[in-house]
Chains A and B, each alone.
Chain A
């Protein structure tokens, strides 16, 4: 019994390097991504837009981009 177990262990150790990683195309193909408008799975999502709505997301990023336009910010403040 002990000899059999020792033989099995030795075989397992010796043959451990004989395994091979799959090399077919399915394993070397890049994963698919989901669009940004699907939202992030965390607590840092900006409020003010509807997660999962592409038009709402686009409006959100375009509105946010206007924060880079100081002409618009200054004029908005002057009003």
Chain B
């Protein structure tokens, strides 16, 4: 069974925001909500690095753990989705998520916080696959159309890879072996550097 994952290759990301635009266009994401965004560390300095971040569809998702109304579910393909008809817009998932994936549209007269919206790995929601009802609430269901997420497929430099974890890991491994650097993907070492000798952990 496939286990859907994203990998972003920080050696390739050029901060073009094509993935962000592709996502917004594909799903008609409302103004103020970004299911995906590009984060740059050391912006403007030599050696700056960028990665594209969205919901990572965690295997042990903190959002699922903290949701008081249990609106989240995980598909057989490892995609973390939620039911907007059950979501109460409390924001707990937003506090729990280490990636800032859950987004809340502000609308209405008083800018009221709406129901949570996040990356669906282009897999829609609990409504019938590919229907207008699903599209209106969650956006397009590309997985059910036999496609992969628009952000990854549209990435010009192929920095953002999306698909079955084993397949995208193989693609990334081939790259690293060919270019002989940049195996760290993104993590503590990339973001903060290696710990200094003798420093307390």
Contacts and interface: CB of A to CB of B under 8 A. Distances in A.
Given A64-B147, A70-B158, A40 B83 contact: no
Interface residues of B, number: 44
Interface in B129-165: 129-131, 141, 143-148, 152-153, 155, 158, 161-164
A34 B146 contact: no
Interface residues of A, number: 33
B27 to A, nearest CB: 14
Main secondary structure of the interface of A (DSSP, over half): loop
Given A48-B146, A61-B148, A68-B161, A36 B123 contact: yes
B158 A36 contact: no
Contact of A46 (B72, B83, B131, B145): B145
Given A65-B163, A68-B171, A71-B174, A35 B145 contact: no
Contacts of A31: 83, 85, 126-127
A49 B147 CA distance: 11
A68 B141 contact: no
Contacts of A66: 167, 171
A28 interface: yes
A59 B73 CA distance: 24
Given A46-B146, A69-B171, A33 B130 contact: no
B86 to A, nearest CB: 5
